[in-house]
Structure 1
Amino acid sequence: MKTKNFIFLTLAFIAATGIVLLSYIYKEHRTIRTEKVNTSTTAIAFYSTFIKDKAAFNAIHLDKAIELKGLITTIESNRIVLDQKIVVTLERDLMTLNINKKITIKGRYVGFDDLLEYLKIDQATVTSTQ
């Protein structure tokens, strides 16, 4: 009788541990589109603030949802460059965008590229164009 209880408790413990680990490993993905915006500013102001104090800037904005307004200076299939300083990776290819068009995007700030010297935004969506 004791061995049956021991086996049952051991199996229950293993199953519970497995469920906890699987739920931790396979978390639901973040949806930046639905998150509250941490910062809303222009692309130039965002970059200028970064240049003043990189460490403090990253402590506040890294991996947070932001909204930026700027002028499109370069377009690739799913990437745009705002004001020659911020590279934005869009969730979808948007061929309707044009160079020198003002745009507002919402995305996640992921860091600074030291080699090319630009800020990187990913998971971005276009919220408005002008």
Structure 2
Amino acid sequence: MKNRSVKIITISFSVIAVALLLVYMYVYKGARDIATEEAVYTLSAEQLVTDYEADMQAANTKYLNKTIAVAGTVTQVADSILTIDSAVFCTFSNKQNIAADEKVTIKGRCIGYDEIFGEVKLDQCTTKD
């Protein structure tokens, strides 16, 4: 009887340990690396804003939290932030050597549309080669 109890306890602890390990790995998995992900959509800044202004719910379903590449002309630069066609706000992890009026394609994660400023926001941006 004692051997059977020991086996049950050992198996129970093993199952619990594996379950806790799986939960830990799920909760603390590495963050997304947008720089290495392929863009799901490639479009112009104008088209992206038009999609959001036409139907925000549909645009969120299509673009929100997805890696997208946006092409256009840089209209504003400030340290690690730039704006494309005065409509797409892009944040980088460090300062970029991009000048105003330069044509670029930026890849980043879409984090939504700001109705107040009329801008689509991208974070974790990189220049697309």
Q: Same fold (TM over 0.5)?
A: yes
| CA RMSD, 1 decimal | 1.5
Q: Choose from 86, 90, 93 the match for 1:91.
A: 93
Q: Determine the structure 1 residue equivalent to 2:74.
A: 72
**How many matched pairs?**
127
Cα deviation, 1:16-43, whole Å, max 9, x if unaligned, reads 1111101111112222222222211111
Could you tell me which amino acid in structure 2 is paired with residue 112 of structure 1?
Y
Q: Determine the structure 1 residue equivalent to 2:36.
A: 34
Indicate the larger mover: 112-121 or 12-21: 112-121
**CA deviation after TM superposition for structure 1 residue 91, in Å:** 3.0
Q: Determine the structure 1 residue equivalent to 2:11.
A: 9
Q: 5+ residue gaps in structure 2? A: none
Could you tell me which amino acid in structure 2 is paired with residue 110 of structure 1?
I
Distance 1:15 1:5 in 2: 15
Deviating 4+ runs (over 6 angstroms): none
Q: 5+ residue gaps in structure 1? A: none
Distance 1:11 1:58 in 2: 44
Identity %: 26
Instruction: Please tell me whether residue 122 in structure 1 is matched to residue 127 in structure 2.
Output: no
Instruction: Please tell me whether residue 49 in structure 1 is matched to residue 48 in structure 2.
Output: no
